[in-house]
Amino acid sequence: MIEFRNVYKTYDNGTKALRDLNLRVNEGEFVFIVGSSGAGKSTLLKILMHEETPNSGEVIVNNTRLSTLSHKDIPYYRRTLGMVFQDFRLIPNMSVFDNVAFAMRVTGASTKAIRKKVPYVLAHVGLTDKSHCLPNELSGGEQQRVGLARALINNPALIIADEPTGNVDPRMSFEIVDMLNQINRNNGTTILMVTHEHALVRKFRRRIVEIQNGELVADSGPEVDYYV
Amino acid sequence: MFNNFKYLVREGLRNAWSNRLMTLASVGVLVCCLVLMGSAVLVSVNISHAMTWLKGENVVMVFLKDAVSGSDSYSVDDVANQIKSVDNVDPNNVEFVPKEEGFNALMSRFDKGLEIIDALGDTANILPDAFRVGFKDQSRYDATVEQLKNLDVVYTVRENREYAKRLEGIRKTVTVVGVWIVGLLLVVSLFIITNTVKLTMYVRKLEISIMKSVGATDWFIRMPFLVEGVTIGLAAGIISFALVAYIYSSAASAISQVMSAGAYPLSAIILQLLLAFLGCGIASGAMGSLVSIGKYLKDDGGVSGE
Ligand SMILES: Nc1ncnc2c1ncn2[C@@H]1O[C@H](COP(=O)(O)OP(=O)(O)OP(=O)(O)O)[C@@H](O)[C@H]1O
Ligand SMILES: [Mg+2]
């Protein structure tokens, strides 16, 4: 599903964010990416989103070498991903419904399809009765569930979440990771989640990859204790 | 896809409205530009019109020598036949103008001075008899005039060419000055439109980065900005068309009082004028927005908004 081969990333200002990173994630895995601040975790995700490109090495997602994508291919590639951000990234003057619908509209979906699918996904994240609210009328946890609904709406095979619980209180954090966990278990969606919260990592017991100074320093490996 | 189109147009109009001050400023500047541009074109058209009118008059005045004109015994028909036999003279367009008529025509050109000339009385028959002569082929104008001058009975040939030359000079100047003014204003209005759209873009930075993150194509992101620019251009086009049409119709009646050629009739060009205004307005609006968003889209980053 995902493969990083000898990936180096140095930013224009000379910061070496990734050094010779090798990582393989199989379809259907749930991976926590941990590491101290500035370790290169977000850089890794940005390379997956094709927001940044590596200086050398190869990244392969779903049999696509990202280095072969042209500018025109990138939107279509991104539609196969779901992205969740720490700061939610909701459009403030759009309702919950419209925020989610937006991601569908971008792909050229018809209004009919949007009307059918959005309520379904909102129900899935437990926000049916908040459908007409504006983002600032919601709690952090609720806002992040809108973000999650938006990431899910186009049925991505891969969800990338950068500290999705960073701005959410602990109880809500658990709920959000639990939702991701369910999505992974039920749909087989591959999930990469960056987090600083060790409590969550311990509780869910999924694969853990640790990055320090741009290098992969620890990997719990495939999920041996799945059903513990 | 039609759904999307409707949605994107609505978004563009919403942008224009939420930035209405800048939108208004852009429309204003673009109107100034278009009005000046339209005026320059119309002045140019009118000078061309006057020129073709002069040429369409198509006639030269052939004045006879006093010796001929003064003698009672000469035959108008003989002289007419002489003139008609000149190569390229249109035989159906040779008309005798007796000296009295020529004099009256001359008189009518002066208005107030009439009394003075009246005072000259009969002795005022200063003009010789003349013929108004038309040509078949305008391209051989010079040669034909030369041939007419060479006739024994002819004193001189009065041409309209001097006016035509002078008008041509004015037209060239108007065109050159017009092109410069228009070019300059176009740059200014593009600059203003570009900034209006950039302002919207800044306001909608988050929205654009989210669009990118969910896989919007460049055209999807561009459309609302394009609609905004085109709306500005369209509004400016309509307003300046109305302004210029109004000014022109007032000016036209003034022109027809001083120039017998009259102004070029507005009704004959009103459609072209409207289309030109709309076209220029829309084109500059579209260009302004495409330029301002182009650079932003080239970059594949900006997804997570840092
Ligand atoms: N756009 C950029 N330009 C220059 N340097 C950058 C850029 N983005 C990140 N960096 C640097 O690259 C290194 C890795 O950054 P990255 O954001 O990947 O860290 P992180 O592991 O996500 O940290 P955190 O846990 O604080 O989010 C850091 O030293 C950071 O300062
Ligand atoms: Mg980070």
Identify the CATH number of the domain in which residue A76 sits.
3.40.50.300
pLDDT at A226 over 60: no
- Considering only CA atoms, give the Rg of chain A: 17
Q: Which residue has the tokens 């709920």?
A: A175
| Residue B1 confidence class, pLDDT cut points 50, 70, 90 | low
Q: Which of A155, A170, A201 marks a domain boundary?
A: A155
B223 contacts in chain A (CB < 8 Å): none
The model carries a pTM of: 0.72
A117 lines ligand 1 (CB under 6 A): no
The fraction of chain A above a pLDDT of 90, given in percent, is 86
Chain mean pLDDT for chain B: 79
| Residue A123 confidence class, pLDDT cut points 50, 70, 90 | very high
**Between B49 and A65, whose confidence is greater?**
A65
Strand partners, A21: A7
Q: What is the arithmetic mean of pLDDT over B34-44? A: 82
Contact B215 A162 (CB under 8 A): no
Question: Does an H or E element contain A127, and which?
Answer: none
Provide the pLDDT for residue B113: 52
Distance CA A130, CA A149 (A): 13
The three-class DSSP label of residue A223 is: coil
**Between B128 and A179, whose confidence is greater?**
A179
Contacts of A108 (CB under 8 A, 6+ apart): B1, B4
Contacts of B28 (CB under 8 A, 6+ apart): none
Nearest alpha-carbon partner for B222 in B25, B2, B12: B12
What count of other Cβ atoms lies within 10 Å of the Cβ of residue B191?
15
Residue A26 in any domain: the answer is yes
Q: What is the arithmetic mean of pLDDT over A144-153? A: 96
Q: Which residue has the tokens 């500005």?
A: B232
Same-domain status, A177 and A191? yes
Same-domain status, A56 and A148? no
pLDDT at A115 over 80: yes
Residue B122: phi, psi to the nearest 5?
-65, -30
Q: What is the pLDDT of residues B162-197, one digit of tens each?
A: 666 777 787 788 778 877 877 887 788 778 778 877
Provide the pLDDT for residue A227: 42
Nearest alpha-carbon partner for A183 in A198, A204, A209, A210: A204
| B53-86: burial string, b at 16+ Cβ within 10 Å, e else | bbeeebbbbbbbbeebbeeeeeeeeebbebbeeb
| Residue B258 confidence class, pLDDT cut points 50, 70, 90 | low
Tokens of A78: 């991104």
Residue A103 in any domain: the answer is yes
pLDDT at B273 over 60: yes
Provide the pLDDT for residue A93: 83
Residue B186: phi, psi to the nearest 5?
-65, -40
DSSP A5-72: EEEEEE-TTS-EEEEEEEEEE-TT-EEEEE--TTSSHHHHHHHHTTSS--SEEEEEETTEEGGG--TT
Domain count, chain A: 2
The three-class DSSP label of residue A131 is: coil
pLDDT at A160 over 90: yes
Strand order in the sheet with A30-34: A81-84, A158-162, A190-194, A30-34, A207-212, A215-219
Q: What is the pLDDT of residues B200-224, one digit of tens each?
A: 777 778 888 888 999 999 888 888 8
Same-domain status, A9 and A73? yes
Tokens of A120: 């379904």
Contacts of A149 (CB under 8 A, 6+ apart): A100, A118, A121, A122, A124, A125, A127
A75 touches chain B (CB under 8 A): yes
Residue A109: domain span: 91-155
Same-domain status, A151 and A197? no
The fraction of chain B above a pLDDT of 90, given in percent, is 7
Provide the pLDDT for residue A165: 94
B305 touches chain A (CB under 8 A): yes
pLDDT at B71 over 80: no
Yes or no: say if B64 and B154 are a contact pair by the CB < 8 Å rule: yes
Contact B215 A111 (CB under 8 A): no
Same-domain status, A76 and A182? yes
Same-domain status, A161 and A150? no
Residue A126 in any domain: the answer is yes
Ligand 1 centre and the CA of A218: distance in Å? 19
Residue B230: phi, psi to the nearest 5?
-65, -35
| Residue B123 confidence class, pLDDT cut points 50, 70, 90 | low
Amino acid at B2: F
| Residue A208 confidence class, pLDDT cut points 50, 70, 90 | very high
Ligand 2 centre and the CA of A77: distance in Å? 22
Helices (H), chain B: 2-18, 20-57, 66-70, 76-84, 99-109, 114-119, 141-149, 161-203, 205-213, 218-258, 266-298
Describe the crossing of helices A140-152 and A96-105 by its angle, rounded to 10 degrees. 20
Q: What is the arithmetic mean of pLDDT over A42-68? A: 95
Contact A89 B300 (CB under 8 A): no
pLDDT at B118 over 70: no
Same-domain status, A201 and A215? yes
Interface of A with B in 101-160 (CB under 8 A): 102-103, 105-108, 110-111, 150, 154
pLDDT at B157 over 90: no
Residue A219 in any domain: the answer is yes
Provide the pLDDT for residue B125: 61
Provide the pLDDT for residue A87: 92
Q: Which of A121, A155, A189 marks a domain boundary?
A: A155
Residue A183 in any domain: the answer is yes
The three-class DSSP label of residue B216 is: coil
Tokens of A19: 């050094």
A154 contacts in chain B (CB < 8 Å): 214-215
Tokens of B177: 């000055």
Ligand 1 centre and the CA of A198: distance in Å? 20
Residue A85 in any domain: the answer is no
Distance CA B223, CA B213 (A): 17
Distance CA B194, CA B211 (A): 21
Same-domain status, A140 and A34? no
B295 touches chain A (CB under 8 A): no
Out of B7, B217, B303, the one facing A51 most closely (by C-beta) is B303
Same-domain status, A121 and A76? no
B215 contacts in chain A (CB < 8 Å): 75-79, 81, 106-107, 154
pLDDT at A8 over 90: yes
Same-domain status, A32 and A11? yes
Residue A67 in any domain: the answer is yes
Chain mean pLDDT for chain A: 92
A38 lines ligand 1 (CB under 6 A): yes
Ligand 2 centre and the CA of A162: distance in Å? 7
ipTM: 0.87
Provide the pLDDT for residue B109: 59
Tokens of A6: 């000898």
Residue A86 in any domain: the answer is no
**Structural domains of chain B, ranges and CATH numbers in brackets:** 2-54+164-299 (no CATH), 66-152 (3.30.70.3040)
Q: Which of A155, A178, A208 marks a domain boundary?
A: A155
Provide the pLDDT for residue B81: 87
Same-domain status, A70 and A95? no
Q: What is the arithmetic mean of pLDDT over A70-99? A: 93
A31 lines ligand 1 (CB under 6 A): no
Q: Which of B3-17, B234-248, B292-306 has the lowest mean pLDDT?
A: B292-306
Q: What is the arithmetic mean of pLDDT over B114-119? A: 58
Yes or no: say if A42 and A11 are a contact pair by the CB < 8 Å rule: no
Same-domain status, A149 and A192? no
Out of A49, A72, A91, the one facing B206 most closely (by C-beta) is A91
